Amino acid sequence: MKKEYDFSKGERGKFYHPDAEFDIPIYLESDISEYMKKIALKKNIDITEVVNDWLRKNIALIQSAN
């Protein structure tokens, strides 16, 4: 690493986008991941769809109990 950097030609805010959205990385434990992969493979869909569907159903269940 340099002791000093020259930012005199830098442009402030060049890559700033106030409406940018970021995905939250989710890390599943290995047993959960394997289970979800098996379901996805059986249904011939992406694991993302399986996890999102499962989460939506659980949200609906929680909301119905309140």
Number of domain units in the chain? 1
pLDDT in tens, 10-66: 999 999 999 998 888 999 999 999 999 999 999 999 999 999 999 999 999 999 998
Q: Is residue 56 part of a domain?
A: yes
Tokens 């399986």 correspond to 50
Residue 35 lies in a domain: yes
Fill in the DSSP letter of residue 16.
-
Q: Residue 48 and residue 51: Cα distance in Å, rounded?
A: 5
Residue 5 inside a domain? The answer is no
Cβ atoms of 47 and 40 within 8 Å: the answer is yes
pLDDT band at residue 8, thresholds of 50, 70 and 90? very high
Domain encompassing residue 48: 30-65
